[in-house]
């Protein structure tokens, strides 16, 4: 790579889409305290510093425990609107022109909020962001895989009045012990309702979970997918299919999916011809937004790879073809 300042500016300026972002994971400690104050809720941390100090994880579950606890400060549509707008403000500064964001409705309905509080608040925040920054976005409803199939079906039913404003269903939370197969029927129902399908697989779970996500959930995009690299047959299949992988370097480091950034699989994924993309996952918890994630792996890539990653983000999006073509032209113009 050329020098760091030059590379930083190139990364921030590169037009890009973000395809793997849990909006609840963009809740910054300062904002958590502000929402707690506004909603008159006690949180079990004395200061922002003490809260940040708790963000030390050795596996996915350590993070999930604190992430679900943090989400409890979100109580009103205004909270969700403000949460989304704060994310889009940071994403805009990082060159994001389109984002497809996850939300976890069960985290909110299970503590008594009606489905529409999160959904309407987020949709309002997405609209404000488009008016203010020109960023387009789509909303993805994630089922929590540690809960059962009936709960996922109940969530899909609760979402019925909003399905024209929801692009896809996803699958997140504790992966190991909760294989994709558990949700085959609810994913089939979502597909029949016209929704796209994505799933977290191969973050901590084995390559067999990636296969199940492909064959039983019929996913249109694979979230993480790191452990697919353990199976040469799977790598060949993923490369041939052109399916996008939404990879999250800083998340992988924080959750110890990868021991060292020098071992991060992004360069190998590109070498194998996989349609890999770079994303931030839960930026408030993992130490960086999308440009920081590009910067983390940039020392192991050349400038052409960075352009490929940005192009992949649009090719892997659920945007219509004409919009994809327009964004690809903008990437190429920037790179030239």
Q: Which residues bind ligand HPA (CB under 6 A)?
A: 22, 25, 60, 172-173, 200, 203, 251, 281-282
Number of Cα atoms under 13 Å in the Cβ half of residue 260: 4
Q: Which of 257, 254, 225, 255 is nearest to 238 (CA)?
A: 225
- Cα–Cα distances (Å) from 256 to 56, 192, 269, in that order, read 10, 37, 19
Contact in structure between 86 and 26 (CB atoms under 8 Å): yes
Q: How far apart are CB 132 and Zn ion at their closest, in Å? A: 26
Total residues at interface with Zn ion (CB under 5 A)? 1
If the CB atoms of residues 197 and 311 are measured against ligand HPA, the closer one turns out to be 197
d(CA 62, CA 56): 8
Q: How far apart are CB 181 and ligand HPA at their closest, in Å? A: 17
Contact in structure between 137 and 55 (CB atoms under 8 Å): no
The entry of ligand HPA, Zn ion, none near residue 324 (CB within 5 to 8 angstroms by kind) is none
The entry of Zn ion, ligand HPA, none near residue 137 (CB within 5 to 8 angstroms by kind) is none
If the CB atoms of residues 170 and 316 are measured against ligand HPA, the closer one turns out to be 170
d(CA 124, CA 186): 27
Can residue 82 be called a binding residue for Zn ion (CB under 5 A)? no
Q: How far apart are CB 334 and ligand HPA at their closest, in Å? A: 29
Stretch that binds Zn ion, among 8-16, 103-111, 278-286, 310-318 (CB under 5 A): 278-286
Stretch that binds Zn ion, among 147-155, 176-184, 274-282, 310-318 (CB under 5 A): 274-282
The entry of ligand HPA, Zn ion, none near residue 25 (CB within 5 to 8 angstroms by kind) is ligand HPA
d(CA 135, CA 194): 24
d(CA 327, CA 319): 10
Q: Which of 83, 88, 84 is nearest to 39 (CA)?
A: 83
Residue with smallest beta-carbon separation from ligand HPA: 172
d(CA 43, CA 62): 18
Q: How far apart are CB 251 and Zn ion at their closest, in Å? A: 7
If the CB atoms of residues 308 and 313 are measured against ligand HPA, the closer one turns out to be 313
If the CB atoms of residues 224 and 327 are measured against ligand HPA, the closer one turns out to be 224
If the CB atoms of residues 182 and 311 are measured against ligand HPA, the closer one turns out to be 182
Q: Which two tokens stand for residue 225?
A: 């997918």
d(CA 307, CA 331): 7
Q: How far apart are CB 25 and ligand HPA at their closest, in Å? A: 5
Number of Cα atoms under 13 Å in the Cβ half of residue 296: 27
Left if phi > 0, otherwise alpha if psi is -120 to 50, otherwise beta: which for 169? Answer: beta
Catalytic pick among 24, 77, 203, 204? 203
The entry of ligand HPA, Zn ion, none near residue 170 (CB within 5 to 8 angstroms by kind) is none
With CB under 5 A as the contact rule, the residue among 281, 285, 305, 311 that binds Zn ion is: 281
Q: Is 203 a catalytic residue?
A: yes
Q: 3-class SS at 103?
A: strand
User: Residue 284, Cβ neighbours under 10 Å: how many?
Assistant: 26
Q: How far apart are CB 248 and ligand HPA at their closest, in Å? A: 7
If the CB atoms of residues 22 and 221 are measured against ligand HPA, the closer one turns out to be 22
- Residue numbers of the site for Zn ion (CB under 5 A)? 281
**What are the residue numbers of the active site?**
203
């Amino acid at each position: 790579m050329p020098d760091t300042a030059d590379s930083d500016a190139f990364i921030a300026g590169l037009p890009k889409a973000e395809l793997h972002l849990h909006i609840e994971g963009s809740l910054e400690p300062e904002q958590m305290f502000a929402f707690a104050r506004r909603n008159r809720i006690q949180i079990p941390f004395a200061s922002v510093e003490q809260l940040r100090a708790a963000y030390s994880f050795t596996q996915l579950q350590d993070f999930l425990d604190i992430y679900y606890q943090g989400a409890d400060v979100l109580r009103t549509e205004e909270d969700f609107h403000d949460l989304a707008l704060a994310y889009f403000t940071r994403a805009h500064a990082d060159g994001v022109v389109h984002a497809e964001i996850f939300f976890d409705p069960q985290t909110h309905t299970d503590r008594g909020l009606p489905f529409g509080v999160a959904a309407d608040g987020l949709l309002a925040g997405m609209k404000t962001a488009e008016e203010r920054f020109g960023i387009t976005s789509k909303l993805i409803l994630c089922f929590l895989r540690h809960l059962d199939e009936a709960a996922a079906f109940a969530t899909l039913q609760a979402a019925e009045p909003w399905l024209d404003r929801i692009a896809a269903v996803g699958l997140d939370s504790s992966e190991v012990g909760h294989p994709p197969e558990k949700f085959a029927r609810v994913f089939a129902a979502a597909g029949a309702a016209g929704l796209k399908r994505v799933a977290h697989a191969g973050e901590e779970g084995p390559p067999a979970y990636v296969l199940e996500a492909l064959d039983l959930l019929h996913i249109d995009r694979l979230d993480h997918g790191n452990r697919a690299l353990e199976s040469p047959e799977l790598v060949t299949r993923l490369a041939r299919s052109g399916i996008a992988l939404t990879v999250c370097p800083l998340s992988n480091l924080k959750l110890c999916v990868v021991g060292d950034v020098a071992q991060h699989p992004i360069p190998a994924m590109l070498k194998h011809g996989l349609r890999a993309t770079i994303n931030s996952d839960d930026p408030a918890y993992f130490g960086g937004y999308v440009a920081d994630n590009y910067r983390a792996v940039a020392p192991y890539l050349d400038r052409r790879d960075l352009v490929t990653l940005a192009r992949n983000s649009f090719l892997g999006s659920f945007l219509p073809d004409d919009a994809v073509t327009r964004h690809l032209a903008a990437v190429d113009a920037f790179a030239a």
